[in-house]
Structure 1
Amino acid sequence: FLYFIGSSAQESIQTVNSAGFFQISHITDTMTVENCIPSDANEVSDTLHGRDATKEHKRQDQRQEKLPSAAPTPLIFFLTTWSYFIAASWGYLRDLFRHFVWADPDLHPKPGYGKLATGATDFFSRRIYRRIRDCWNRPVNTRAGRVIGVMERTSDPGNRNFEFTGNTIPCVNLASYNYLGFSEDIPSVTEDNLTALEQYGTGACASSQEGGQSQVLKELEVETAQFVGKEAAVVYAMGFVTNFSGLAPLFCKDTLVISDSLNHASLVAGVRVSDGRVKVFKHNDLGSLERTVRRSIIDGQPRTHRKWKRIVILVEGIYSMEGEILDLPRVVEIKKKYRCLLYVDEAHSIGALGATGRGVCEHCGVDPADVDLLMGTYTKSFGSIGGYIAGPAKLIADLKRYSGASLVGDTLHSAAAQQALSSLKVMQGKDGTTIGRDKIARLKDNASFIREELRKRDMLVLGESESPVVPVMVYEYHKLAMFSRECLKRNVAVVVVGYPATDPFEMRARLCISAAHTRADMQRAIDAIDAVADVVGVRYALPWPFRK
């Protein structure tokens, strides 16, 4: 039976010239490439018979198993369900009262106006989210440095309206993506930014194809490509748009995209607006990835069972809600074994991983040439905005021609481009200092320190020690709000994340660590979170009878 499958699969697939890469195939038929599946019968047969992987693969998979899991225990699942039940029941009672006794403008809009949402979405927004929405969209009046100024505000009992008190709450900033601390005032970077602002003004007022391509933007593309080890790069004005607009023209209808189940929304949206088909594998489970690739080769396209022209693996360097680092060597091994193509989103890993900040490739010891496309943003480690896609020069040239954001979207503002460019040069020591190298080392030290200290205090902390994203599991709906409010009382700014950004039963607080934080900042934040853990009850690393 296995021999029959192997023979059938071998007959239905052809080889690929991997140098052809993605090439934007839905624009012209002449820009397609051959199938990216191995054609050697022995290679396919070995793949089919090796049901799980080699012992080495199993050892690599065990690395992921050792990391704490966000999955709730049965008790936590029950308590979380119970908290939702109470909130929903109280909400329905209030709706009945408002409907029959006291008119509610949310239930009865003004004549001539329609409701913005209906059904479950409307109920969730009014009775679940609104009760705790003071935990989000908090205005600040300082730069996103190691300490941030949160503008104090009060609200009515229903959290409908907010009013500012005029006070500012200074907080240790664990809420910003300021990984390397470049949002702080670094004299050489600030001077370059002011020069660029004076020379180029406040905006390009045009796309890069229509007069918006400044010299500093061109230099940023060249410098970025050299930094990540690629031939060329294209820069976009927004990180989300980089994936959303950059992925859309890459995939034709005969392309299969195999995506991690917890990939960022920008990746999901980018694939959806393309012509490609998508399959999802279990998060960070490379056994699941290999099985999905193998099954896709055997089955071919839906209904017709024709071969896929290409199969593309879509993953992230650091997963932004889990703090987990991609096992890139194993992904590259699978990619080469089945001759797939690989797209890695390095939004959170570029600048934060590797001895010189070159991201997950450097961290894992992988040649950047083994990754077909590298995407990253300037929002996190560089203290700016925008993003880039780096890869083969011909493909990048095609992206500049066919990507919507390059054609009609305003280009990255020159001062923001200069901020990214100057920060990149500091990271490489081209300013003649060791500031960049010291920042990278300090970030790793801070991330490892706070993760270890919180785990010592019996909190369930996800991710790996080198990751600057430190998720602390909270789980229950009411505890999410309590955690955020209690941290603010103790002058610590954190981000709490709930549904729909995460699974409704896996709510968490996400701490973002910066090289700008001093050890005193870290200790103060740890002490505050430790006190909050007692108040809220989030020491989930301990069995239930032993929790405080």
Structure 2
Amino acid sequence: MPASSPLPSPMALNIAAPNPSMFKKRSSQTLAPLASAASYLSALSQADARARHSHGRTPTATPALSLSSSITSSSEDTVLNEGDPSSHAHGFDNFDGLALPVRPPTSEQVFTTLHTEFGHCANEAYRLTSQHTQGEAVPAHVEQDPPYYILLSTYISYLILICVGHVRDFVGKRLSPGSYTHLVPRNGYAPLNSDFDSFYTRRLKTRMDECFSQPVTGVAGRTIMLLDRISPDYNHTQILTGTRTRALNISSYNYLGFAQARGGCADAVEEVIRRYGVSTCGARLEGGSSDLHTVTEALVANFVGMEDAMISSMGFATNSALIPALVGKGCLVISDELNHASIRFGTRLSGANVRMFKHNDMGSLEALLREVISQGQPKTHRPWKKILVIVEGLYSMEGTLANIPVILELKKKYKFYLFVDEAHSIGALGPHGRGVADYFNIPPRSIDILMGTFTKSFGAAGGYIAGTKSLIDRVRLRGHLGPYAEAMTPPVLTQVLASMASIMGVSPPLPPLDGGEGVVTTSGTYVHPGPAPASSLPNWLTLPYALASGTEGRTRLRRLAFNSRYLHNGLIKLGFITYGHPSSPIVPLLLFNPGKMNMFHRMMKDRKTPIIVVVVAYPATPLVTSRVRFCVSAAHTKEDVDVVLRACDEVGDVLDLKHGIGRGERWTVEKIVERAAEVAGM
């Protein structure tokens, strides 16, 4: 292409196409690695400048990459193809098939993230603040029932599956006993698997296994690379075909988009590997810790607004191994009926008595408190040694928020201890990303114990528990994780430090004015501690200005808030039955019938723009409330959510899923897309 030829704007190409797809076939040519970041930024800058010149406005997103659905090479994540030598003679680099001149950046919007991992979105209209409006009641969890014919067909479907499964077992044991050797006693040994206990797995789940445990490779960011597979024996075995499909990822807990292979956090992780060595990263540190552990625990305590914190290498174990250090025999644990399995397991190990209340029902909680306090311990009726109420900040299957303001009022009245599991809410809720306390503008220290994980918003692994120093000291001695579990590796710790500091921002090397515990103003507004003092981070850890200043962290929080409300309210306006709080990045869409689970998954994945979703069924949910669970990320652009809404609109019509009461009249998907800012603000 001559250097003087006018180049079509990538944004213009997207607008001209009636149904533009981010995911199109790429040529079989192996892409060369990016020569320099400068060429990438220059290409994006020129694209932005031309788009503004052509349309008279700032583009809402940068051009989407050309992504392959059948890639076997290792270069699927390459951003720019340097092209043939002739293109360089004219001073051009090949950007997804478009030749873009390499000149100094002139655009006001300079994106430094890989578009497949974190979407480029420059439109400030697509930003919201995640914050509870003071004085408003917290929405209660309302279960909407579909029409009776949907419930009836769902029960009949399960009845048919169960009956056919038992008939196949009865006939198969007699005609093909070799297929059941693992379920019957043999050679004097009892079977390892119970015939009855494994019935659901063998006869129900196996029929739907296509939509579970999808193998992937690479970074689970805005998009994800699927390993294609087939099953020649009705899902008993899966065979990889050797091809791959790049799909829009609406199924990962990557709330803030920190699951990136490139960027400031990734650079910090590479640096710690160079400093600590590869062998240290895989070493077992039983009952020990490194200097990074002390630094990370201090930053976590500062981030959540508590005196002290203890970190662990596994989020599930944080609950299951540390709750027994908090309560024991003679104590009472009051648990929400939909609490996570790790909480249930931990309370059983503790030996404490357990009572449950209806999910997020404050009336049920108060009635239970009155009963247990008045009756005391069973048989002896002595007072309980302590009462611990455990709730989740954000429930992963329902998308509901715990009613923390009302629970704190009950706490003052009935004098119990409060444990809040913020595995999904920390980093994802609140104007500062500090979880439900931040969202409701509540001082964190009014809550006794805060627990959370690093596997969601921070793109790392492990978990933490935070509280007073005396409490954490006891947990270090009495909890099983301290003396027995492996310590977190330096790369994981560095990812936590870098991502958390990016949310807080990093201040000059001066002590924080508030002593690291936050302040309450005269108007009663709580101000979270921050930014993180530079002295609280390793001196070798340097972040790019956008991360160190906290600018990018605030942008990610506001993008996540918009995407969450936009998808949630958009699905309701389309007529679907959804659960959860509008600010929740978890958006469950009810499917009910088990047959629709497989169909929904396949129809979304087989679209021109493949979309990978997670479907959830029994025992994670009640038997008749099977659902697809969308997980929104700050990495998604408004256009990505548009793609999901359009796909749901079409698939919902085919599978008869639009049975929601909604909010007033239903809207068409095009009306929702056109008035996205209004929909998100509903």
TM range (shorter): 0.7 to 0.9
Give the C-alpha shift of residue 120 in structure 1: 2.9
Residues 268-297 of structure 1: CA distance to partner in whole angstroms, max 9, x if unpaired? 111110021110000000110011111111
Q: Unpaired segments of 5 or more residues in structure 1?
A: 1-58
Match of 1:53 in 2: none
CA offsets 1:154-212 (integer angstroms, 9 cap, x no match)? 002321111111111111111110000001245221111011122233436334633xx
By how many angstroms is 1:535 displaced? 2.5
Task: Give the drift of 1:401.
Answer: 1.6
For 1:105, give the aligned amino acid: S
Instruction: State the match for 2:164 in structure 1.
Output: 90
Q: Determine the structure 1 residue equivalent to 2:275.
A: 199
SS at match of 1:331: helix
Equivalences for residues 240-251 of structure 1 within 5 A? 240-251=316-327
Q: Per the alignment, do residues 192 and 108 of structure 1 end up closer, same or farther by CA in structure 2, a change over 3 Å counting? A: closer
Residue type of the partner of 2:633? S
Residues 98-148 of structure 1: per-residue CA shift (max 9 Å, x gap) = 233344513666954654322432221111111111211111012011000
**Mean CA deviation greater in 247-256 or 282-291:** 247-256
User: 1:121 is paired with a residue of what secondary structure?
Assistant: coil
CA–CA distance in structure 2, aligned partners of residues 286 and 72 of structure 1: 26
Q: 2:572 maps to what in 1?
A: 455
Correspondence 1:293-442 to 2 at 5 A = 293-430=369-506, 431-442=548-559
Which residue type is aligned with residue 80 of structure 1?
T
1:404 Cα deviation (Å)? 1.1
2:287 to 209, 219, 239: 209
Cα displacement (A) at 1:68? 4.2
Query: In structure 2, what is the Cα distance between the partners aligned to 1:85 and 1:416?
Result: 47
* CA–CA distance in structure 2, aligned partners of residues 503 and 186 of structure 1: 40
Structure 2 counterpart SS, 1:470: strand
Q: Give yes or no for contact 1:372–1:391 (8 Å, CA) kept in 2.
A: yes
SS of the residue 1:318 aligns to = coil
Equivalent of 1:139 in 215, 222, 231: 215
Task: State yes or no: 1:154 paired with 2:271.
Answer: no
- 8 Å contact kept, 1:258–1:281: yes
Which amino acid is the alignment partner of residue 480 of structure 1?
M
Q: 1:433 deviation in Å?
A: 4.5
> Which residue of 239, 242, 259 maps to 1:166?
242
CA distance in 2, matches of 1:404, 1:73: 49
Q: Choose the corresponding residue for 2:255, options 165, 175, 179.
A: 179
Q: Distance in 1 between matches of 2:389 and 2:147?
A: 31
Tell me which residue corresponds to 1:500.
619
Q: Does 1:510 align with 2:629?
A: yes
SS of aligned partner of 1:105: helix
2: CA distance, partners of 1:149 / 1:266: 30
Larger deviation: 337-346 or 132-141?
132-141
Give the letter aligned to residue 643 of structure 2: R
The TM-score with structure 1 as length reference comes to 0.84
Structure 1 Cα separation of the partners of residues 152 and 505 of structure 2: 53
Residues in 2 aligned to 1:222 and 1:196: alpha-carbon distance in whole angstroms: 19
Distance 1:217 1:70, change over 3 A: farther
Report Cα offsets for 1:339-365 as digits up to 9, x if no partner: 110000000100111101011001011
The code of the aligned residue for 1:209 comes to: G
Q: 2:139 aligns with which of 53, 61, 64?
A: 64
The reply on whether 1:478 has 2:595 as its aligned counterpart is: yes
- Residue of structure 1 equivalent to 2:52: none
Contact kept? 1:263, 1:319, Cα under 8 Å: yes
Contact kept? 2:417, 2:448, Cα under 8 Å: yes
TM-score (norm 2): 0.68
- More displaced 10-residue stretch of structure 1: 183-192 or 217-226: 183-192
Change (3 A) 1:537 1:442: same
Q: Which has the higher relative contact order, 1 or 2, with Cα contacts under 8 A spaced 6 or more apart?
A: 1
Tell me how many residue pairs correspond in the alignment. 483
The residue matched to 1:290 in structure 2 has which SS? Answer: helix
Contact 1:454 1:526 in 2 (8 A): yes
Return the offset for 1:482. Answer: 1.6
Query: In structure 1, how many angstroms separate the alpha carbons of the residues matched to 2:550 and 2:358?
Result: 44
Partner of 1:128: 204
Among 655, 659, 663, which residue is 1:540 paired with?
659
Question: Percent of counterpart pairs with the same letter?
Answer: 37
Offset from partner CA, 1:465-492 (integer Å, 9 cap, x none): 1110000011111112221222221211
Q: CA deviation at 1:64?
A: 3.3
User: For residue 271 of structure 1, what is the aligned residue in structure 2?
Assistant: 347
Provide Cα deviations, 1:389-419, integer angstroms capped at 9, x if missing partner: 0001111112112211221111111101110
Pair 1:270–1:372, CA change in 2 (3 A): same
Tell me, yes or no, if the aligned pair for 2:287 and 2:485 is still in contact at 8 Å.
Answer: no
Amino acid at match of 2:291: Q
Task: In structure 1, give the amino acid aligned to 2:636.
Answer: H
- Does the C-alpha gap of structure 1 residues 103 and 252 become closer, same or farther in structure 2, counting only changes over 3 Å? closer
1:466 equivalent to 2:583? Answer yes
In structure 1, distance between residues paired with 2:240 and 2:262: 32
Partners of 2:164 and 2:593 in 1: CA distance: 17
Secondary structure of 2:473's aligned partner: helix
TM-superposed deviation, 1:97: 2.9
Which stretch of structure 1 is more off in the superposition, 186-195 or 68-77?
Answer: 68-77
Contact 1:261–1:280 (CA under 8 A) maintained in structure 2 = yes
Letter in 2 for 1:501: A
Relative to structure 1, the CA distance from residue 542 to residue 104 in structure 2 (aligned partners, 3 Å threshold; closer, same or farther) is farther
C-alpha contact (below 8 Å) 1:229/1:368 kept by paired residues = yes
After superposition, give the CA deviation of every residue in 1:26-72 in whole Å (9 maximum; x if it has no partner).
xxxxxxxxxxxxxxxxxxxxxxxxxxxxxxxxx9997434x541556
Q: Give the whole-Å Cα distance in 1 for the aligned partners of 2:257 and 2:330.
A: 43
- Which structure's CA Rg is the greater one? 2
Residue 209 to residue 104, structure 1, CA distance change in 2 (3 Å): closer
DSSP-derived class of the 1:509 partner:
strand
Q: Higher helix share goes to which structure?
A: 1
Corresponding position of 1:15: none
| 5+ long unaligned stretches in structure 2 | 1-133, 507-547, 667-682
Q: What residue identity is the alignment partner of 1:471?
A: P
Distance 1:301 1:355 in 2: 42
